[in-house]
Amino acid sequence: MTVHSVSIKDLSLQYGNTQVLENLNLDIEQGEFIVLLGPSGCGKSTLLNCIAGLLDISDGQIFIGNRNVTWEEPKDRGIGMVFQSYALYPQMTVEKNLSFGLKVAGFKKDEIERRVKKASDMLQIQELLQRKPVELSGGQRQRVAIGRALVREADVFLFDEPLSNLDAKLRSDLRVEIKRLHQRLKNTMIYVTHDQIEALTLANRIAIMKDGVIQQLADPHTIYNRPVNLYVAGFIGSPSMNFLEGQLCQGDEDVFITNNGTVIPVASYDFMQPLNGNTNAVLGIRPEHIVTGSAAEEMPFKVEVDIDIVEPMGSETLVWTKLAGRSLTVSCDGDQQLEPGQRILLGFNPGRGSLFDAESTQRL
């Protein structure tokens, strides 16, 4: 049997009649950075709380470091946890916040000092040690909260939306810092977020959750480029993927015909299994995979469209137009001069898109 850092087997959780998590299985390797991603209410934070032992589960088992911790107290599970609201003890100084857990556990004074020093050096919060949490900024508070997890020298770190309370600038700073921390410590980290940028930038693997079920567990590249179903495809990516409904027709050359008759050749598409007859399908294509102007000439599919709306975003410009009766967004170079009403040529390679079965919503 291989040793997983964290292993969740058939985990279920009910609140009364509501099934929050259902038969969930997840194996996490040593040193892996796993991100649980999903909209609010999908059960990602609940799952994290179950791993931490803060919630009693209804069924299943949880292993941490190959030890069955299903019935163990949070403190005995070898975890450190960072919360969204920082959850620092307000009446204690930063130093006391960091050392509280160690004192409770009965560590010797010099050992506590050593660990606090190590953590505060690592997070560069040495000069804050004698301050109270109210005197700190949001970013500093979250550093202290991370420090409180660090001093436990646990094998597994749990992050529950740690950056969600910070403003955009701090969020990206601290994100890099967490990544740096992971590269340095090489601990297993489980990170819950609803922010897909955080997920894509930090994770070794992302688990996308919906209604208490993991939809797809894969590395960020696969999640982004080869989503397993319509839900994942629509959830990941900002601006989100364009969807065209239609029929997939088998022939000498496979084609996708949209509901109003636009024909899109899909010979370049890498099907999961060979096509079997005609099927109702949905074609998804990301806005940045659609090209305009001369680059569009060489694409397997190209079409002339009118621009509806132009949204300049600085580095890129988002163009809203219509294709096959459906609204379509195209991400263009920010330097291009574009006006509403202007006619442009656009094209894309369906091979870079995704095809889903219209009924099962699974990837074809």
Partner 1 sequence: MTLSVRTPVPGNMESVLSGPRGPRKHQLSIARIGIYAFLVMSALFFLMPFWVMIVTSLKTLPEIREGNLFNWPRDLTIEPWINAWFNACTGRDCNGLRPGFWNSVKITAIATVLSITIAAINGYALSFWRYRYANVIFGILVFGAFVPYQVVIYPLIIVMRELGLFSTLASIVIIHTIFGMPILTLLFRNFFASLPMEMFKAARIDGAGFWQIFFRIMVPMAVPITVVAVILQLTGIWNDFLFGTVFAGRQNMPMTVQLNNIVQTTTGVREYNVHMAATILTAAVPLAVYFISGKWFVRGIAAGAVKG
Q: List residues binding partner 1 (CB under 8 A).
A: 49, 52, 54, 73-75, 79-81, 83-91, 100-101, 104-105, 145, 148, 152, 160
Give whichever of 1 and 134 is closer to partner 1, judged by the CB atom: 134
Distance CA 77, CA 29 (A): 17
Give whichever of 49 and 140 is closer to partner 1, judged by the CB atom: 49
Nearest approach in angstroms of CB 254 to partner 1 is 52
The neighbouring-strand residues paired with 156 are 79, 188
- Candidates 82, 86, 83; CA nearest to 134 is 86
* Residue 158 near residue 178 (C-beta atoms within 8 A): no
Give whichever of 80 and 212 is closer to partner 1, judged by the CB atom: 80
Give whichever of 53 and 350 is closer to partner 1, judged by the CB atom: 53
Distance CA 201, CA 219 (A): 11
Give whichever of 100 and 320 is closer to partner 1, judged by the CB atom: 100
- Token digits of residue 268: 């370049």
Nearest approach in angstroms of CB 270 to partner 1 is 45
Indicate the burial class of 264 (C-beta count within 10 angstroms; 0-12, 13-18, 19 or more): buried
Question: Could you write out the DSSP letters of every residue in 265-315?
Answer: E-TT---SS---S-EEEEEEE-GGGEEEGGGGGGSSEEEEEEEEEEEE-SS
Instruction: Decide: helix, strand or coil at residue 17.
Output: coil
Nearest approach in angstroms of CB 264 to partner 1 is 45
Give whichever of 10 and 56 is closer to partner 1, judged by the CB atom: 56
Nearest approach in angstroms of CB 136 to partner 1 is 15
Instruction: Decide: helix, strand or coil at residue 91.
Output: coil
Sheet of 354-357, strand order: 263-265, 255-258, 242-249, 279-285, 354-357
Give whichever of 105 and 313 is closer to partner 1, judged by the CB atom: 105
* Residue 208 near residue 215 (C-beta atoms within 8 A): yes
Nearest approach in angstroms of CB 85 to partner 1 is 5
CA 125 to chain centre: 28
Give whichever of 83 and 348 is closer to partner 1, judged by the CB atom: 83
Nearest approach in angstroms of CB 24 to partner 1 is 21
Nearest approach in angstroms of CB 280 to partner 1 is 46
Nearest approach in angstroms of CB 97 to partner 1 is 9
Q: Where are the alpha helices (DSSP H) in 29-137?
A: 44-52, 94-104, 109-123
